[in-house]
């Protein structure tokens, strides 16, 4: 039997309004502006992927993803979709970076490969359904009173872990955390994320002051270019440090481990160019017994379904951050992960990703292009 080949690749621009603005120290978002990738192979199967570019993190936008995605589609036409590593190498040889659009293509290739194997993606990757995946829910950066009220609503909705966006400086951020703890009490776990918002000279002082609020960890406290300041900060901080924007791929992970710069990594498929390199980060972390968080950007449930399959591959995965699809005004995904009581996540057992977009939704989108 001849090998399958990539017959056509479709790119679609998807813009979904959020229920309310999502604000972090790096900017404000009112829409989930994503790229959907659909790879058709010669057997009639379709693989789905999704990219959620974040210009201040990736340096990509929906427009650059659409453009570069077209170039990558041209070089992948006719290639064997089951040779995922070879396809990834081709993309990296063609253009540096552009991890967001590469991630969508890499996810779609994995979807196809798992379908050909007749296995759910997590089984194709060698994992089992033996992990509890329970998402936190994020409090967006904003006025103190609103953040405290949002935290209270999250608790009332049944979520058992809160993530709080910070990064505007000691006085404001401490006031935010004080108000939030007064609303929700001290028992519910809270994680904080400064998104590079603090200066290196002030970060330790802020973290020391935050200790009384019982914080699980702090993501990316300082600018990613200041990563050489992380080892000293991590050594002195009473709160564990998690690398996010500082860790895109396995090379970043190796560097941060060697420097002893952080206590954990936040893996996002949109940073790692997809599943292939995300699993290499997992291997690096597990070699030194480092706990992991799996998160994402503003992907729909399709993108987070891919992330959930990867999460099942992790031996130590205490932190799950899969909440952003719940912020969408409309959910256009068929199948995929399901959200249960208390933020528990269930992963589909169908062959492949187990998630897709309907033809009706794809055909309703203004921006689309086909290659092949």
Residue pLDDT, tens place only, 188-246: 999 999 999 999 999 999 999 999 999 999 999 999 999 999 999 999 999 999 999 99
Q: Mean pLDDT, to the nearest integer, of 362-372?
A: 91
Q: Tell me the CA distances in angstroms from 167 to 22, 36, 308, 317, 364, one per residue in order.
A: 14, 31, 28, 25, 38
pLDDT tens figures, 110-165: 999 999 999 999 999 999 999 999 999 999 999 999 999 999 999 999 999 999 99
366 is catalytic: no
13 is catalytic: no
Q: Tell me the CA distances in angstroms from 364 to 35, 287, 297, 368, 370, one per residue in order.
A: 14, 46, 24, 10, 15
Q: Which residue has the tokens 């390199």?
A: 277
Please tell me the predicted confidence (pLDDT) of residue 366.
86
In whole angstroms, what separates CA 241 from the centre of its chain? 18
State which H helix or E strand residue 333 sits in: strand 333-335
Domain ranges of the chain: 6-118, 123-355
268 is catalytic: yes
Q: Tell me the CA distances in angstroms from 123 to 50, 60, 110, 117, 361, one per residue in order.
A: 21, 32, 12, 10, 29
Among 193, 229, 245, 250, the active-site one is 193
Please tell me the predicted confidence (pLDDT) of residue 1.
65
Separation between Cα atoms, residue 54 and residue 228, nearest integer Å: 24
Cα dihedral across residues 118, 124, 129, 130: positive or negative? positive
- Does the pLDDT of residue 76 top 80, yes or no? yes
Q: Which residue has the tokens 């009384």?
A: 212
165 is catalytic: yes
Q: How many CA atoms lie within 13 A of 44 on its CB side?
A: 0
Separation between Cα atoms, residue 200 and residue 239, nearest integer Å: 15
pLDDT tens figures, 306-339: 999 999 999 989 999 999 999 999 999 999 999 9
Among 33, 102, 252, 268, the active-site one is 268
- Does the pLDDT of residue 255 top 80, yes or no? yes
Cβ atoms of residues 116 and 82 within 8 Å: yes
Q: Which of 32, 75, 48 is nearest to 330 (CA)?
A: 32
Q: Which of 73, 4, 75 is nearest to 35 (CA)?
A: 73
Among 33, 111, 136, 219, the active-site one is 219
Q: Which residue has the tokens 């990316």?
A: 220
Q: Which residue has the tokens 């929906």?
A: 62
Q: Which of 300, 179, 141, 166 is nearest to 222 (CA)?
A: 166
- pLDDT grade for 2, boundaries at 50, 70 and 90: confident
Q: What percent of the chain has pLDDT over 70?
A: 100
The CATH fold assigned to 123-355 is TIM Barrel (3.20.20)
Separation between Cα atoms, residue 86 and residue 82, nearest integer Å: 9
Mean pLDDT, all residues of the chain? 97
> How many residues can be counted in the chain?
372
Q: How many CA atoms lie within 13 A of 364 on its CB side?
A: 9
Instruction: Please state the pTM of the whole predicted model.
Output: 0.97
Q: Mean pLDDT, to the nearest integer, of 10-33?
A: 96
Q: Which of 138, 159, 132 is nearest to 317 (CA)?
A: 132
- Residue 142, classed as helix, strand or coil, is coil
140: left (phi over 0), alpha (psi -120 to 50) or beta: beta
Q: Which of 43-52, 135-144, 246-255, 362-371 has the lowest mean pLDDT?
A: 362-371
pLDDT tens figures, 338-351: 999 999 999 999 99
Q: Which two tokens stand for residue 221?
A: 């406290």
Q: Mean pLDDT, to the nearest integer, of 252-256?
A: 98
CATH placement of domain 6-118: 3.30.390.10
Q: How many CA atoms lie within 13 A of 126 on its CB side?
A: 4
- Between strands 215-219 and 190-193, the pairing is parallel
- Between strands 137-139 and 355-357, the pairing is unpaired
171 is catalytic: no
């Amino acid at each position: 039997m001849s090998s399958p080949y990539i017959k056509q690749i479709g790119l679609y621009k998807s813009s979904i309004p959020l229920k309310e603005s999502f604000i972090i120290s790096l900017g404000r978002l009112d829409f989930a502006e994503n790229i959907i990738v659909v790879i058709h192979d010669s057997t009639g199967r379709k693989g789905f992927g999704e990219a959620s570019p974040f210009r201040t993190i990736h340096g990509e936008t929906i427009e650059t993803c659409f453009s570069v995605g077209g170039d990558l589609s041209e070089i992948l036409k006719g290639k064997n979709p089951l040779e995922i590593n070879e396809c990834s190498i081709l993309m990296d040889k063609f253009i540096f970076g552009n991890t967001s659009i590469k991630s969508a293509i890499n996810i779609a290739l994995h979807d196809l490969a798992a379908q050909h194997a007749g296995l759910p993606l997590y089984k194709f990757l060698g994992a089992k359904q033996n992990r509890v995946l329970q998402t936190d829910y994020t409090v967006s950066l904003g006025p103190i009173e609103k953040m405290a009220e949002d935290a209270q609503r999250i608790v009332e909705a049944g979520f058992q872990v809160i993530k709080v966006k910070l990064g505007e400086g000691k006085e404001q951020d401490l006031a935010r955390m004080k108000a939030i703890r007064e609303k929700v009490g001290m028992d519910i776990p809270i994680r904080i994320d400064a998104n590079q918002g603090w200066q290196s000279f002030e970060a330790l002082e802020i973290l020391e002051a935050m200790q009384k609020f019982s914080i699980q960890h702090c993501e990316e406290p300082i600018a990613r270019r200041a990563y050489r300041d992380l080892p000293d900060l991590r050594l002195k901080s009473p709160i564990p440090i998690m690398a996010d924007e500082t860790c895109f791929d396995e090379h970043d992970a190796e560097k941060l481990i060697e420097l002893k710069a952080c206590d954990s990594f936040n893996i996002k498929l949109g940073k790692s160019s997809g599943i292939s390199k995300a699993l290499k980060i997992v291997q690096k972390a597990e070699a030194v017994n480092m706990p992991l968080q799996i998160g994402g950007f503003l992907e729909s449930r399709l993108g987070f379904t891919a992330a959930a399959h990867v999460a099942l591959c992790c031996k130590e995965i205490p932190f799950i951050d899969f909440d952003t699809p719940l912020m969408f005004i409309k959910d256009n995904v068929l199948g995929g992960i399901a959200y249960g009581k208390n933020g528990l996540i269930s992963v589909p057992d169908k062959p492949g990703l187990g998630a897709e977009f309907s033809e009706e939704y794809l055909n309703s989108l203004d921006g689309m292009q086909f290659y092949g």
